[in-house]
Amino acid sequence: MDRNGLYRLGLFLFLAAFGVSGCVGETAAVGFPAEQAGAPPQLSLEDATSVAATFLQAWVDEDFDAMYDMLTINSQHAYPREVFTEYYQHAAEVMTLISMDFEIRSALQQGTSAQVAYDVTFHTQLLGDFTDAERTLYLRAGDNGWQVVWSPSTIFFEMAGGGTLVLERQAPARANIYDREGRVIADQNGIAVTVSLIPENIPDETVCLNELSRILQHPVAEIRARYEDKPSNWLIPIDEIDADTYQAEADILTTYCDAVFSERRVRRYYGGGVASHVVGWVGAIPSEEQAEWLARGYQRGDLIGISGIEAWGESILAGSFGGRLIVVSPSGAVLRVIAERDAEPSQSIYLTIDRALQLQVQQALSDAYNMSTDTWARTSNGAAAIVMDVHTGEILAMASYPWFDPNIFNPSSPNLDQVNYLMNEDPRMPMLNRATLGEYPPGSVFKIVSMSAVADSGIYELDHVYVCTGIWLGLGPNNPKYDWLPGGHGPLTLPEALVHSCDPYFYQVGFDIFQSDPWILPEYAHRFGLGEPTGLEQIIEGAGLIPDPDWVRQTQDREWAPADSVHMAIGQGAVTVTPIQVARMVAAVANGGTLYQPQIVHHIGIIGEEPSWVFTPNPQRQVDIDPEVLDAVREAMCQVTGPEGTASWPFRDMSIPTCGKTGTAEAPGATSMPHAWFVAFAPADDPEIAVVVVVENSHEGSVVAAPIVRRIIEYYYDQELFPYPTEWREGLAPITPGEPLGD
């Protein structure tokens, strides 16, 4: 029997069930029931069509109460309001329905019965658009006019008699994340083992439940509840364990539970977390987002990208789901295929990160903290390090210390109890990506901006001399400010002031800039890309803050004062920056003034095929500073690591000529230790990379951050590693909060 024949037979049975008699003819889809004595006055066909249109529009609007109120009394008795609503909501969820529209084709009437023919086009997330044509809505005249004769077959005809709407989903395997050379960072080669039980086969329920409770870290009652209300001969999944736990516990679970095991592939992160803040992790769909993800074709229990590249690239890594929308009989037979669409394959994401270098950068930070357990690491909760290509903006390594193992977020992980501690309780905040979200005062690193601003604006010549006596009284005798070097540095030119990081020189720079124009320093900071997101699209980043006269008026209800410019000139006051902003700035100094958009994705594609997207450098803008001034800044940074510079001892005998700037920034809090900065580019004569390290609440930049930068550069160029300072283990010169800081 063809579909039309099946349709007519089913329709006849449907009408018969509602007390409707008639015959099926050649030209009519269904016969009309004869009028009965006492029937209400006959209504017009135009009225029936209007009611049908109103009912269908209410479906479009998801106004199920309005739809239900239009049903016949018999239909309402057969299907309570909540059941009726559930049918439509379930159908929408199964179809992944976004919206729908309809078109009425024709209408027929016989006495107090009417039928309206119409088409419906469903717009769905997973299956696209499809039209279900030649549908019929049946109406009967009642005391209040035309009413809809309803059963589940009104949604889809084949749902009459218990047919169920089912979506058979086709889900591509989640694609991998690789480094720039195609080395795996995240893949689907992890193994999760499902532990299932057949309740009636459990040899010793008490021991079994106790062992499961120990292994799964769930209460006995919770485990029992997963199977106790189900038939005793069913195979019931209890939970998942990882492959190592399976190896260790399989014999016990077999002996006491007669457990059944099955494997599935899960996300695996190489090395327990390579660039974990960049890569992110996958996890269960958050409960508050269930509706959104289900509408996109996902199912409860699916894993999605929660942060980092996993979240940004969800549609790329997951591909596009396909599937078949079918109606299945109670016996499981397919009654109809309503719509289908093939899945589109997922694509792998290749990062700009070099996996080997990333591991080395992480090792450099880890070794530093491990060595300094009894000195600066006691007060430091974290650090960040970035390596960037100065000619493209590609991020070759990005580390935030401490990092985390994304594998613990797999539902099968035995360490899920760590998640809440890591995310909410650990005082070190390991989930914070300090490289992009850490906002710190830059300290003397900001002197790169101050030197550029005072020279490029014409306030100072590059050979402007100021005598650094070790004390500066520009804000009055009651507000003295001191140099980090007692007695001062003597007469210095502007570049020499940067080399020696002389604070009084830059206090005077800030004061003289204020006298000329208070907006100059904020403007030049923005030219260097500070105080604004860098445009790194795939990773969440902070903006930092470059205060200006407007900001002071709006937030502090006062005018910009000389002290604001003075403090800004040495990177203090309200100034905050992110490490990624500083890395972009240093790269611009190194490459001649181009601010590149930082990039973390190198290319996207299917293995063995041409990439669908390939990174190209994006020069965002020029810093718009006289090349002679930038040359002077570069040369001064190269002397910072020389015999007279503030970073001379950390870079002594360095085989790769390196240029940099130290920074020791006062941290908020009267007793807080300072943040240690060192920024660099290398090699000096033909820069390739910019390196930035900031270590929170530790010590001076030259003491803590500079040695870490040196080690990262040695890793990059495959040089012999210079040992970290023995002072890190044996004891450092004390720093008294509030006193002048070295760099």
Domain ranges of the chain: 39-162, 177-350, 357-420+436-730
pLDDT at 639: 98
Closest-CA residue to 319 (of 197, 450, 188, 445): 188
What percent of the chain is modeled with pLDDT above 70? 93
Rounded Cα gap, residues 459 and 629, in angstroms: 13
Distance CA 355, CA 181 (A): 8
Question: What's the confidence (pLDDT) of residue 53?
Answer: 98
Write the class of the CATH domain 39-162: alpha beta
Q: Is 310 exposed, middle or buried (0-12, 13-18, 19+ CB in 10 A)?
A: buried
pLDDT confidence of 412, banded at 50, 70, 90?
Answer: low
**pLDDT tens sequence across 278-316:** 999 999 899 899 888 887 878 887 899 999 999 999 999
Tokens coding 434:
């300090």
Mean pLDDT of the 510-521 span: 98
pLDDT grade for 183, boundaries at 50, 70 and 90 = very high
**Residue whose pair of structure tokens reads 């720079």 in the numeric block:** 509
Question: Is pTM, for the whole model, over 0.85?
Answer: no
d(CA 476, CA 468): 17
Q: What gap in Å lies between CA 634 and CA 619, rounded to an integer?
A: 20
CATH no., domain 177-350: 3.90.1310
Question: Which of 167, 63, 168, 55 has its CA nearest to residue 120?
Answer: 55
Is the pLDDT assigned to residue 464 strictly greater than 70?
yes
Which residues lie closer than 8 Å to 324 by C-beta, 6 or more apart? 167, 168, 170, 337, 339, 340
Cis peptide bond prior to 579, omega within 30° of 0: no
pLDDT band at 36 (very low <50, low <70, confident <90, very high): very low
| pLDDT score of 231 more than 90 | no
pLDDT tens per residue across span 329-373: 998 899 999 999 999 999 999 999 999 999 999 999 999 999 999
**In this structure, are residues 522 and 514 in contact, taking their beta carbons and an 8 Å threshold?**
no
Class of domain 357-420+436-730: alpha beta
pLDDT of 670 reads 75
Distance between CA atoms of residues 48 and 104, nearest Å: 12
Q: DSSP string covering 511-562, please?
A: HHHHHH-TTHHHHHHHHTTTTS----SSS-----B---HHHHHHHHSS---H
